[in-house]
């Protein structure tokens, strides 16, 4: 079965995704042309800024043409608005990704790229490690007031992720420094830099308490048995590798982080399908969206709205992807089994961490059944000494931007 069929099979056999009407038809040659152009930029084929700019304009025009074809087939204004919002966000992300490829200089790191951990990051998209006990206890000392505040909010029923986490409190800066020292000493910063193609350091983080009363990760689809893959997802951005660092001991009961090496690669998504899947949650999500009331999505599960699911199913199979597809998997299906066969569950003592490419590795975590979990969600970002700071600021805008962006990127 080809991969598109493999995703298509999942959605066409899912009762919650069954709607009358056929998907939009698109010219697959145009889609293939977009894919070829995108990959030639991604694979480092362009050295000069002028060529990059030309490639950006061409790719945006090609994507616009494909969306235009679909727009001609819409049944009503709502379908058109869905495509408009999806296209706008897709072009934004496309631009961000191309900016990253323009910044990366992988040949500079060629020598290090043979090291075992760099290879692991390239092939498995993750590796595990542990920070020292002294660093863990320093971080816990600094964070205790914050963690107690989260606990008291949880006791009062304030259970949203933003109630139980913080990424901009003053202690974050101190923890970032401790982690940078640890990761530098362990060679992690060098590994991540070699993988990304520019010098990386810990750029920001969130400290988070997970408790069993929080149920944001549960299934909102009306299925009697939820899939075992609930909340498995890839992140929106491919620019920021991440780490999860445990600050409490974590067992299978208190929300271990899991990952699913190889699943993303096996989907063999084309470039536009992948971009669409990463920004799929936006239509009807932002405050100023004209579709906000029409969809009435609950919290952050984009597929909770039947109207949204119907619009999603109008996309041709070749463009249909949801980066948070764990919730969409048919229970008992081959897809579910594929995920479960690949699952690696990170249990361990405080200090245990995973470094991973959240944009290319399906993962999930923090789904506590009993007890609590305290963890750091860490984001790596280009170091300030990066060779082209003005370009870098243009696409990423550290340090102010990173704080506000962090949750959108790692959720």
Residues that bind Fe ion (CB under 5 A): 235, 358
Cα-based torsion angle of the residue sequence 195, 63, 25, 325 in order, rounded to the nearest 10 degrees: 40
Minimum gap (Å) between residue 325 Cβ and Fe ion: 13
Of residues 261 and 358, the one with the C-beta less far from Fe ion: 358
- Give the residue with the Cβ less far from Fe ion, 377 or 386: 377
**Between residues 6 and 407, which has the closer beta carbon with respect to Fe ion?**
407
CB 377 → Fe ion: shortest distance, Å?
8
CB 124, min distance to Fe ion, A: 17
Query: What is the 3-state composition of the chain as percent helix, strand, coil, each rounded to the nearest 5?
Result: 50, 15, 40
**From the CB of 150, what's the least distance to Fe ion, in Å?**
19
- Taking the least distance from each CB to Fe ion, the nearer of 192 and 315 is 192
Given a contact cutoff of 8 angstroms between Cβ atoms, the answer to whether 245 and 143 are in contact is no
Q: Which residue is nearest to Fe ion (CB)?
A: 235
Q: How far is the CB of 246 from Fe ion (least distance, A)?
A: 16
Query: Taking the complex as a whole, how short is the minimal distance between the CB of residue 365 and Fe ion, in angstroms?
Result: 8
Q: Degrees (nearest 5) of the Cα angle 316, 359, 71?
A: 25
> Of the two residues 85 and 235, which places its CB atom closer to Fe ion in the complex?
235
Q: Which residues contact 30 (CB under 8 A, 6 or more apart)?
A: 62, 65, 66, 69
Looking at beta carbons only, is 285 or 311 nearer to Fe ion?
A: 285
Alpha helices in 115-245 (DSSP H): 116-123, 133-155, 171-185, 188-196
The least CB distance from residue 190 to Fe ion, in Å, is 24
Beta bridge partners of 128: 354
Six-digit token string for 46: 């362009």
Q: How far is the CB of 236 from Fe ion (least distance, A)?
A: 9
Indicate the length of the chain as a whole number: 411
Contact 250, 347 (CB under 8 A): yes
- Distances 337 to 11, 268, 317, 323, 324 between C-alpha atoms, Å: 16, 18, 21, 18, 17
Q: Name the residue nearer to Fe ion (CB basis): 359 or 382.
A: 359
Of 241 and 358, which CB lies nearer to Fe ion in the complex structure?
358
DSSP 325: G
Q: Indicate the SS3 state at residue 128.
A: strand
Per-position DSSP letters for 1-54, written without gaps between them:
--HHHHHHHHHHT-GGG--SSPPPP--HHHHHHHHHHHHHHHTT---SHHHHHH
For the record, the structure tokens of 400 come out as 């102010």
Backbone φ and ψ for 297, nearest 5 degrees, come out as -65, 145
Name residues whose C-beta falls within 8 Å of residue 400's C-beta, 6 or more positions apart in sequence.
Answer: none
* Minimum gap (Å) between residue 234 Cβ and Fe ion: 7
Q: Are 407 and 206 in contact (CB under 8 A)?
A: yes
Tell me how far apart the alpha carbons of residues 1 and 217 are, in angstroms, rounded to a whole number: 31
Find the shortest distance in angstroms from Cβ 407 to Fe ion. 10
Nearer to Fe ion, 135 or 209 (CB): 209
Among residues 143 and 258, whose Cβ is nearest to Fe ion?
A: 258
């Amino acid at each position: 079965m080809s991969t598109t069929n493999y995703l298509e099979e999942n959605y066409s056999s899912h009762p919650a995704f069954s709607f009358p009407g056929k998907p939009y038809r698109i010219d697959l040659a145009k889609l293939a042309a977009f894919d070829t152009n995108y990959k030639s930029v991604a694979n480092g084929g362009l050295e000069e800024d002028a060529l990059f700019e030309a490639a950006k304009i061409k790719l945006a025009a090609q994507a616009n043409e494909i969306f235009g074809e679909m727009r001609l087939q819409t049944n009503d204004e709502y379908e058109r608005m869905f495509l408009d919002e999806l296209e706008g966000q897709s072009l934004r992300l496309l631009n961000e990704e191309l900016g990253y490829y323009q910044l990366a200089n992988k040949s500079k790191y060629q020598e290090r790229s043979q090291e075992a951990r760099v290879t692991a990051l390239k092939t498995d998209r993750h590796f595990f490690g542990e920070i020292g006990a002294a660093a863990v206890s320093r971080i816990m000392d600094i964070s205790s007031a914050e963690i107690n505040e989260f606990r008291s909010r949880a006791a009062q029923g304030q259970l949203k992720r933003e109630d139980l986490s913080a990424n901009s409190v003053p202690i974050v800066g101190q923890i970032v420094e401790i982690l940078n020292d640890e990761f530098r000493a362990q060679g992690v910063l060098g590994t991540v830099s070699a993988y990304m193609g520019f010098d990386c350091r810990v750029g920001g983080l969130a400290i988070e308490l997970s408790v069993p009363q929080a149920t944001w990760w549960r299934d909102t689809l009306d299925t009697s048995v939820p899939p075992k893959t609930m909340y498995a997802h890839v992140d929106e951005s491919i620019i920021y590798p991440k780490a999860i660092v445990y600050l409490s001991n974590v067992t299978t009961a208190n929300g271990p982080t899991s990952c699913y090496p190889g699943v993303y690669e096996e989907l063999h998504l084309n470039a536009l399908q992948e971009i669409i899947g990463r920004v799929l949650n936006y239509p009807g999500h932002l405050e100023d969206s004209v579709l906000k009331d029409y969809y009435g999505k609950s919290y952050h599960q984009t597929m909770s709205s039947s109207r949204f699911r119907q619009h999603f199913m109008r996309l041709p199979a070749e463009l249909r992807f949801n980066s948070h597809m764990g919730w969409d998997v048919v229970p008992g299906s081959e897809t579910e089994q594929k995920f479960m066969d690949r699952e690696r569950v990170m249990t361990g003592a405080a200090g245990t961490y995973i470094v991973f490419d959240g944009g290319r590795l399906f993962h999930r975590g923090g789904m506590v059944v009993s007890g609590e979990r305290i963890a750091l969600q860490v984001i790596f970002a280009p170091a300030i000494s990066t060779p082209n700071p003005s370009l870098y600021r243009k696409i990423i805008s550290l340090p102010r931007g990173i704080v506000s962006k962090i949750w959108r990127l790692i959720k």
